[in-house]
Amino acid sequence: MFKQSLLPGFPDGADKIGTSLSILTKEDQVTYFVGGDNYFSHPAGDEQSRRFALTSLMANGHVRARDLEGSPLLIPHRTLMNWTKQYRQDGPCSFYRTIGRAAPRVITPDKIAECARILADGIHPSEVARRAGINESTLRKALKRNAIPQLPCVLDEGLTKPVVVSKSERSRIDAEAASAMGTACTRADERVAAAMGLAGSASARFEVGHDVQMAGLLTALPALCANGLLSGIDRHLKLPKGFYSVLHILLTLGFMALARIRRPEGLRHIPPGEFGKVIGLDRVPEVRTLREKDCHDGSHR
């Protein structure tokens, strides 16, 4: 069948594109003419309609991609190919598809201030996330990229509030200490001083912690003292200078009895750093150390 050719008429003031397309911009309206026929029009600045019009003209063979790449449009070839692919795969309606609005930010300035305030009270991040009504993973990502400032922890008396350390963080710190003086040996200065005879023993220091294993044994300490566990230790029990004092050994043995740990070897099944926090030290004595102290103490009875 004979295909009738379009009459080569171009409106005045229109830009000629290729052999049959012309584009006229007049009174904030863009009109596309194929030959002398009005093919499509849209308001100036409507980018979605502009992409649709040019792509449909290419798809229907009224203009070639090389014509749109040249002056005056100067559209990159890759861009034209992407438009053509979209037209073929998703259809013409895809050019007018509403772009989804971005989800509202979770870590807003108000949330940042709220989380920073709760963290300053020494609260664990999981509890902070629960109180703030956000996911813990979201909070930890914000902390990792320093999006939440670390406010100073100050008590009413003007003293710095101790930081609450979680069990997982303590386990990591104890494991890192293994490459130096041993697992959970975090009080290196006191251990060195005791080894050199510069200190009689380490001081029992109880620190704030979160989810400390076997910490409930401390509630029985008054009962142990009432039954005479620590009575007369200065008169009847003596140990040479070292990191562990008589007090630490007696507390360890007393808490072992309450926890039904019958032999020192049973301590090998308990994280030494966790039991150490219960007696006020960085870690509980090793089995060999505990047996040596017990034998030495027995020779003075």
Query: Is the domain of 178 the same as that of 271?
Result: yes
Query: Is the domain of 133 the same as that of 45?
Result: no
Query: Is the domain of 84 the same as that of 191?
Result: no
- The residue range of the domain holding 68 is 15-96
Residue 155 pLDDT > 50, yes or no? no
pLDDT digit string, tens, across residues 97-131: 775 555 556 778 888 888 888 887 778 888 888 88
| pTM exceeds 0.85 for this model | no
Q: What integer best gives the mean pLDDT of the chain? A: 81
- Residue 2 included in any domain: no
- Residue 268 included in any domain: yes
| Separation in Å, CA 177 to CA 41, 181, 199 | 74, 6, 22
Band (pLDDT 50/70/90 cuts) for residue 81 is very high
Q: Provide, rounded to the nearest whole percent, the portion of the chain with pLDDT above 90.
A: 6
The more confident residue out of 296 and 53 is 53
Please give the tally of structural domains in the chain: 3
Query: Is the domain of 222 the same as that of 257?
Result: yes
Query: Is the domain of 224 the same as that of 285?
Result: yes
- Domain end residue (candidates: 96, 127, 143): 96
Using an 8 Å Cβ cutoff, are 272 and 284 in contact? yes
Cα–Cα distance for residue pair 298/218, rounded to 1 Å: 26
Residue 146 pLDDT: 78
Query: Is the domain of 179 the same as that of 239?
Result: yes
Cα–Cα distance for residue pair 23/89, rounded to 1 Å: 27
The whole-number average pLDDT for the span 24-52 is: 88
- Residue 3 included in any domain: no
Angle at 83 between CA 77 and CA 85, to 5 degrees: 105
Cα–Cα distance for residue pair 115/193, rounded to 1 Å: 41
Query: Is the domain of 184 the same as that of 263?
Result: yes
- Domain end residue (candidates: 141, 161, 181): 161
pLDDT digit string, tens, across residues 177-226: 888 888 888 888 888 888 887 777 888 888 777 788 888 888 888 888 88
Query: Is the domain of 278 the same as that of 179?
Result: yes
The whole-number average pLDDT for the span 122-148 is: 84
Query: Is the domain of 232 the same as that of 192?
Result: yes
Mapped to the 3 state alphabet, what secondary structure does the chain carry? CCCCCCCCCCCCCCEEECCCEEEEEECCEEEEEECCEEEEEEECCCHHHHHHHHHHHHHCCCCCHHHHHCCCCCCCHHHHHHHHHHHHHHCHHHHHCCCCCCCCCCCCHHHHHHHHHHHCCCCCHHHHHHHHCCCHHHHHHHHHCCCCCCCCCECCCCCECCCCECHHHHHHHHHHHCCCCCCCCCCHHHHHHHHCCCCCCCCCCCCCECCCCCHHHHHHHHHHHHCCCCCCHHHHCCCCCCCCCHHHHHHHHHHHHHCCCCCHHHHHHCCHHHHHHHCCCCCCCCHHHHHHHHHHHHCCC
- Residue 275 included in any domain: yes
- Residue 7 included in any domain: no
Query: Is the domain of 217 the same as that of 250?
Result: yes
pLDDT digit string, tens, across residues 4-25: 444 455 677 788 888 888 888 8
The CATH number that applies at residue 157 is 1.10.10
- Residue 6 included in any domain: no
Query: Is the domain of 183 the same as that of 256?
Result: yes
